[in-house]
Structure 1
Amino acid sequence: MPVASIKKIGPNNWGVQYRTPEQRLTRRRGFATKKEAEDFAATVAVAKLRGEYIDPKAAQVTVGELGAQWLARRTHLKPSSARTEEVAWRVHVEPRWGQVKLADIRHSTVKSWVADMGREKRRDGKVIKKASGAVTIIRAFGVLAGILDEAVADRRMLTNPARGVKLPRKTRRDHSYLSDEQVLTLAEAAATGRGGDDKAVIVMMLAYCGLRWGELAGLHVADVDTLRRRINVRRNAVNVGGTIEVGTPKTHERRTVPMPRFIADMVGEVCRGKNRSEILFPAAGGGYAKSPGINTWFDGAVNRCITTASDARKSEAKAGGDPVTPEFPRVTPHDLRHTAASLAVSAGANVKAVQKMLGHASAAMTLDTYADLFDKDADAVADAHDARLAGLMSEKNVAKM
């Protein structure tokens, strides 16, 4: 049988009959001229020779049909990541692409969608849709691109039309770092609030050991060794849609974190009288504690610190001089993780030590996240060279060379 047969079906209507690589007989109609039909037949023949043939019927499935299956197969994700993808799909991807067939998706339409998500929409002078931020756009795009990648792998599409679309850059938020004195002030404020002494220990552990909140909340008494001064990070207790999901951290996040002696002593007091299987810092009603947000013990402690620092600065200004008390930043529990990195670098820790403490996948990630801290470290190296070589250079008369 010839590669393809071309027949006139009616006025301005030509059809092509050909076999797929699997030898299944297939027809395609609707070509206005014989030349268009011949061109299509030639394209099919070349695609078959190159191994690039895609059955047109395979591309008639909608993104909505594939999307639900794709999400269901993402079982390797942690609960928080799975929740993030599900929200991105439900809010941004499915409404726009759910009813669209793979065959109808173009690079230009994906590009327009990405741009539209970043635009504010108004009607009669009122905002009817806020512009989505870079993180939201990148997540939504990642879901669509992932679905289409799988469609390419399944031979439903030859290429992924989403790939190559330019995405907005994430705006890096400046990190808030506390000094040693400010950490102690915050811990004291937490202890005198409704949280009690255990909350002071939480502040100190976050600020000097660099744990994520979920890692700290997931600690059991058996996970801390106060004699060897070690914290074994074995589980993660994360708030996902109002429910605490407990799982294991990613491979590089499972680690043993050293404790300073003063932290080990404080943790020892918290462990006193508890069984090894008990949660180290349980919620008030039992179970794993959620990350404290607005109007919680942590927020109250920060507010008291901000007020105290502000009052001190006003008094210093009234006395006729420049305020010497530093402003107290509005920090979150996660900012104390950044503080831990800052205090570790100040204490002389190198990038590998900070990476291991924080559970980063690589030293490059640590350098990228805390470039500002290591810039200061580089300045200190330059100053140290100045101090060491000043005398030697004058003796060798290098300055005149």
Structure 2
Amino acid sequence: MRRAGLPSHQAATEEVDQARALLALAGRDRRRRGEIADLLQAAVRAGQPLPDVDRIRQRLRGDGPLDDMPTVGEYLTRWLAELTVDANTVRGYESIVQVHLVPHLGDIPLDKLRTGHIKAMFAAIERRNADILAAKASPDPAVRRTVAGVRPTGPSTRQRIRACLRKALNDALAEELIVGSNPAALVKTPGDRPVPIVWEAERVKRWKETGKVPGPVMVWTDEQVVEFLDYAKEHAPDLYPMWHYMAYRGPRRGEACGLLDAEVRLDQRETTINNQIATHGYQPVQKKPKSKAGNRDLALDTETTKVLTAYRARRAQWRLAAGDTWPHTGLFFVRPDGHGWHPNAVTQRFRRLVRQAGLPPIRLHDLRHSAATIALSAGVDIKVVSEQLGHSTTTLTRDTYQSVTKELLHQAADAVADKIHGRRSKSA
């Protein structure tokens, strides 16, 4: 190995020592020793610095190539192309990779990505959020126009960014492209999961006066749920049974739209969730629930059983009137023409009806939150509620509904104090 143009004898000696240290990393492995020698020759011929000893040592721990480590951007592009998950998940990952990960981390060699880089990305996202909010609040119309239609990156999106990167790096670890720990797993995502807030009387009053909603996730009280269902029964009888089912038992929108007729056993007062209708763009697609916990049985109360029984009889009348034109979708909830409901259409009808009823606004998904909140407030065990919702762990249920579980803890504390106080009164 020959190189000219070094500034001093000391620099030449250090480079020789570095080359020897690199060759020593291979030990008696002749194949790896040859690969390291090739790297040294290539660096010298190109007039580039010799490879870093620690970097080559790290790569030797796996069995991948020692040269041509891809950048984060190059790896993520290949990773997306080789994913074997459903199209909707891939579409979400692609958006995150293109909008956030590649612009902030794309040029970093994959094996040099550290937690500091990821923290810097989230800090940059926070600064961008502040700039967007400041521009939206600017008195200058020209400044406001620069962020027209632009939204800050919220807590849920930040969590999805971290989850996407963590998944990609876990796959890189499995391929032995990188070794050690996953830097994304060591970074805490800024912003917490939004906690459901109940539309209590004071909040409703303030909303009517100011038009401001207290938080991104709002849930109705049991009285408000009843008011909505009574209004829906009269003004949207074709969708009322589905909304009743969602409000009482808490399935997701796609699970309600995709409920199979064969999985509704009204004589046994139960349904099975093993199908859903998701939207890929706007295209509805039937598929299985994403997780094992998502496949579950939902027991029905007497009232819901009556509503679904009446709906099934009404649906039979629709089918009789349609005759041979009635489509065989296999779905339980269908439109009067027999075709399945598009999830987006169900959401749009829900929003419109909430406005017409004069109720405080919630999302359709928040009917699910209302069902969980009412169940917890009624004293239903959190494990039962977690299984009803299809959560993988009770921790997720507890974290999501912590405002409700705190209330239950206070009630438990008062119950213990009342019992002790009663004993003390008798002993006195």
Tell me the TM-score range normalised by the shorter chain: 0.7 to 0.9
Distance 2:343 2:56 in 1: 61
Specify the alignment match of 2:191 in structure 1: 169
Specify the alignment match of 1:251 in structure 2: 292
- Which SS does the other structure have where 1:9 is aligned? coil
Report if aligned partners of 1:215, 1:237 keep a CA contact under 8 Å in 2: yes
Of the structure 1 ranges 340-349 and 251-260, higher mean CA displacement relative to structure 2 is found in 340-349
Specify the alignment match of 1:303 in structure 2: 355
Aligned to 1:151, which of 165, 169, 172?
Answer: 172
Cα shift at 1:389: 4.9
Distance 1:242 1:67 in 2: 26
Specify the alignment match of 1:192 in structure 2: 234
Specify the alignment match of 2:274 in structure 1: 234
More helix by share: 2
Report if aligned partners of 1:205, 1:263 keep a CA contact under 8 Å in 2: yes
Task: Give unmatched runs, 5+ long, in structure 2.
Answer: 7-11, 136-141, 198-217, 320-325
Distance 2:406 2:388 in 1: 20
Distance 1:150 1:363 in 2: 27
Instruction: Report the AA paired with residue 167 of structure 1.
Output: T
The alpha-carbon distance between structure 1 residues 383 and 117, as it changes in their structure 2 partners (threshold 3 A), is closer
Report if aligned partners of 1:79, 1:245 keep a CA contact under 8 Å in 2: no
Within-5 A mapping of 1:70-89: 70-75=79-84, 77-89=85-97
- The reply to whether residue 111 of structure 1 matches residue 119 of structure 2 is yes
Aligned to 1:219, which of 249, 254, 259?
Answer: 259
Of the structure 1 ranges 130-139 and 214-223, higher mean CA displacement relative to structure 2 is found in 130-139
Cα shift at 1:260: 1.2
Cα shift at 1:256: 0.9
- The reply to whether residue 263 of structure 1 matches residue 273 of structure 2 is no
Task: Give unmatched runs, 5+ long, in structure 1.
Answer: 1-6, 307-327
Distance 1:353 1:214 in 2: 21
Within-5 A mapping of 1:308-387: 328-387=359-418
- Which SS does the other structure have where 1:28 is aligned? helix
Cα shift at 1:338: 1.2
Give the structure-1-normalised TM-score.
0.76
Distance 1:378 1:185 in 2: 29
Cα shift at 1:226: 1.4
Distance 1:341 1:44 in 2: 51
Specify the alignment match of 1:318 in structure 2: none
Instruction: Report the AA paired with residue 9 of structure 1.
Output: R
What does the per-residue CA deviation read over 1:234-278, in whole Å, with 9 as the maximum and x for residues that have no partner?
A: 111112211112111121111111111111111011112169963
Cα shift at 1:386: 4.8
Q: Could you say what the CA RMSD is over the residues aligned between the two structures, in angstroms? A: 3.5
- The reply to whether residue 94 of structure 1 matches residue 102 of structure 2 is yes
The alpha-carbon distance between structure 1 residues 392 and 299, as it changes in their structure 2 partners (threshold 3 A), is same
Specify the alignment match of 1:10 in structure 2: 4
Instruction: Report the AA paired with residue 287 of structure 1.
Output: G
- Which SS does the other structure have where 2:423 is aligned? helix
Distance 1:173 1:157 in 2: 37
Report if aligned partners of 1:191, 1:197 keep a CA contact under 8 Å in 2: yes
Specify the alignment match of 2:203 in structure 1: none
The alpha-carbon distance between structure 1 residues 56 and 381, as it changes in their structure 2 partners (threshold 3 A), is same
Specify the alignment match of 2:209 in structure 1: none
Specify the alignment match of 2:215 in structure 1: none
Specify the alignment match of 1:319 in structure 2: none
The alpha-carbon distance between structure 1 residues 345 and 114, as it changes in their structure 2 partners (threshold 3 A), is closer
- Which SS does the other structure have where 2:239 is aligned? helix
Specify the alignment match of 1:320 in structure 2: none
Distance 2:409 2:258 in 1: 36
More strand by share: 1
The alpha-carbon distance between structure 1 residues 200 and 392, as it changes in their structure 2 partners (threshold 3 A), is same
Give the structure-2-normalised TM-score.
0.71
The alpha-carbon distance between structure 1 residues 342 and 110, as it changes in their structure 2 partners (threshold 3 A), is closer
Instruction: Report the AA paired with residue 57 of structure 1.
Output: D
Cα shift at 1:220: 2.3
Distance 1:362 1:141 in 2: 20
Specify the alignment match of 1:312 in structure 2: none
Distance 1:162 1:370 in 2: 26
Cα shift at 1:379: 2.8
Cα shift at 1:90: 2.7
Instruction: Report the AA paired with residue 367 of structure 2.
Output: L
Instruction: Report the AA paired with residue 86 of structure 1.
Output: E
Specify the alignment match of 2:138 in structure 1: none
Distance 1:377 1:386 in 2: 14
The alpha-carbon distance between structure 1 residues 329 and 78, as it changes in their structure 2 partners (threshold 3 A), is farther
Specify the alignment match of 1:62 in structure 2: 71
What does the per-residue CA deviation read over 1:209-234, in whole Å, with 9 as the maximum and x for residues that have no partner?
A: 11111110001222211121101111
Report if aligned partners of 2:247, 2:370 keep a CA contact under 8 Å in 1: yes
Cα shift at 1:54: 7.3
Q: Percent identity of the aligned residues?
A: 23
Distance 1:110 1:164 in 2: 10
Instruction: Report the AA paired with residue 133 of structure 1.
Output: G
Cα shift at 1:84: 1.7
